[in-house]
Amino acid sequence: MTHRLTPLVASLPATVPFVGPETQERARGGPFIARLGANESGFGPSPRARAAIAAAADEAWMYGDPEAHDLRHALAAHHGIPASCILPGEGIDGLLGYLVRLLVGPGDAVVTSQGGYPTLNYHVAGFGGALHTVPYRGDHEDIDGLLAKAREVGAKLVYLANPDNPMGSWHGADAVQRMIDGLPEGTLLCLDEAYADLAPARVIPPLDPADGRVIRMRTFSKAHGLAGLRVGYAIGHPELIAAFDRVRNHFGLGRVAQAAALAALADQDWMAQVVGHVARSRDTIAEIARDCGLTPLPSATNFVAVDCGGDGARGRAVLQGLLSEGVFVRMPGVAPLDRCIRISCGPEAEMSILRRALPAALAG
């Protein structure tokens, strides 16, 4: 072998934060009959987005606009903020990687929740940062604990998902604003709002991109149904947003993806329909869980965390039972959250499959 990895990269495991359902299908030798594990939108993209994808197909030979000008300005108009405060990118996962690259060097402290969204941890490890975690409190990310840890370690970056993944819980907008106001000097809050479109209005603080203490992340992968195209965007102070141009992949957001996101954003009627579908599906999942003697947790997302009534071993057994029934679901990876499985919302046909499969999984 003639390639020479950096010492940091050589020290890292060859892994990814998630094992995809396709990998699991290959391992099990067949497809899942219900895909309820990745928090995608089984309700699909809007008809206008589908038409835009079809129209853009003939232009797929061209690179996408490296400034994503039209999408950026449409998002600015939608949110009522300057375009200089918005940066579209390759989903929140890609934007998190750029953010960590901008801020985190070897040994720099980053604070997050133990058992929270793992992609942030993956990027911090990849740039040599020092990750500090705080346990959940009552199935919620512990705002006070995160702030205390940030002060203790002198964190450059604190991460909070609100609403939360993997538990579906949330803090009200007032609590999030108190967290922003309580940040130590020199600490930036990354507020992941992937599920903002699906949450009650009281959960999301008003946008204030002039506040340099926080950067917010949004996505087209959930309510807009465009997970396969990887489109997200950051909202923040214009100086921080401009700094992304130092490190980002300028052609990372493809032409078809930009066209689809622009059309999806314009179709707010479809968005409203999806929000209604998700709310009904959450109720259905909760009903199915209760009928099986399990406890659904309150959710402001497009999934429901279901308490399986035991410890992590019990949760894993239920998950494996569902997988054996052909139903793809996931679960948190850290105790005590791993007593739960996480079931994504979906169309009625998939809910009917879940209604049959969960009792069989429990019986097994």
pTM of the full structure: 0.96
What per-residue confidence (pLDDT) applies to 19? Answer: 87
Do residues 36 and 150 share a domain?
A: no
Strand partners, 160: 191
- Same domain membership, residue 294 and residue 175: no
Same-domain status, 210 and 323: no
Whole-number pLDDT of residue 3 = 87
Residues 217, 232, single domain; the answer is yes
Q: Confirm whether 186 is domain-assigned.
A: yes
Length of the chain: 364
Rounded distance, CA 86 to CA 325, Å?
A: 43
Q: What was the pLDDT predicted at 1?
A: 64
pLDDT of residue 297: 98
317 and 259 together in one domain: no
Digit-by-digit pLDDT tens for the chain (364 residues) are 688 899 999 999 888 778 899 999 999 999 999 999 999 999 999 999 999 999 999 999 999 999 999 999 999 999 999 999 999 999 999 999 999 999 999 999 999 999 999 999 999 999 999 999 999 999 999 999 999 999 999 999 999 999 999 999 999 999 999 999 999 999 999 999 999 999 999 999 999 999 999 999 999 999 999 999 999 999 999 999 999 999 999 999 999 999 999 999 999 999 999 999 999 999 999 999 999 999 999 999 999 999 999 999 999 999 999 999 999 999 999 999 999 999 999 999 999 999 999 999 999 8
Quick one: pLDDT at residue 148? 98
Number of domains in the chain: 2
- Residue 251 burial (CB count, 10 A): 11
pLDDT of residue 225: 97
Q: What is the pLDDT of residue 80?
A: 97
Tell me the residue type at 199. Answer: A
Supply the pLDDT for residue 79.
Answer: 97
Which residue range forms the structural domain that includes residue 311?
19-44+269-363
Residue 192: its H or E element? strand 188-192
Bridge partners of 158? 111, 189
Identify how many contiguous H helices and E strands the chain contains and give both numbers.
13, 12
Whether the Cβ atoms of residue 40 and residue 344 lie closer than 8 Å to each other: yes
Q: How far apart are CA 227 and CA 245, in angstroms?
A: 24
